[in-house]
Amino acid sequence: MEVVSKWKSHGGTQGVYRHASNTCSCDMTFAVFVPPEAEDGPCPVLWYLSGLTCTHANVMEKGEYRKMAAELGLIIVCPDTSPRGDAVADAEGWKMGTGAGFYVDARVDPWKQHYQMYSYVTGELPALIEKNFPVDMKKQGVFGHSMGGHGALTVALKNPDIYKSCSAFAPIVEPTTADWSVKALGAYLGGGPEDWKEYDACALVSSGAWFSEFLIDQGTADEFLDDGLRPWLFEEVCKDAGIPLTLRMQEGYDHSYYFMSTFMADHLRWHADRLK
């Protein structure tokens, strides 16, 4: 693991790291914030999954999480959103290819060689973090924004024994039918919507997947609300399944980091209550 950069922040350390990923068959970069409390022993770890077009850097620079994470004693890990490099398959536009891994394990060429983001964020990267940072792996939570909100919901529903808390900002709750995800899922996974349901939060809950509770914040002025996000679909299936969901429709907020950073502290406190 290579240290790309490291800064002292709020008494802790914000670092950026790079390693050769066997899962994605390329170099992968990620960010980790370690709070000052980690000097006294292992801390809970909260995984943040970013949205379309983002890298680890977007939330690191705009998410405003460090002050609260330092106060709460949370380690924050921010993976990249896709494999990258000259050898990695790509596509025109921002809804598929680099920056748009959708946290799935691709099954179709040319994507399957590198686009194994589900296995990367749930398997290889956690093992690397456990080996190199003072984390308490019995206390893991996950959250994310947009495409990363989709990723957070699905990895939590598929691994309720690993993640103890899950929240999301403006998540894509039903990517098998959303305008801006069907092209990527078809390319990565092949087949049709019935073949993609293992990566669809609504479909997972409808088929019996369970999680203890969810928190979702969604801006009412989000330009993608009706075509890409549609949180009311997830609210409906969670109600039918008896899964507690707090859905907060935030008046006047859009899809940007201005929205997300506004409620970041709320989410960190919510996770800390459940992890600590």
Q: Which two tokens stand for residue 36?
A: 């000052």
Task: Name the burial class of residue 143, with classes exposed (0-12), middle (13-18) and buried (19+) by CB atoms within 10 angstroms of its CB.
Answer: buried
CA distance 121 to 123: 6
Give 185-251 as a DSSP string: HHHHH-S-GGGSGGG-HHHHHHTT---S-EEEEEETT-TTIIIII-HHHHHHHHHHHT--EEEEEET
Active site positions, annotated: 146, 222, 255
CA distance 101 to 225: 21
DSSP class of residue 218 equals: E
Contact 146, 172 (CB under 8 A): yes
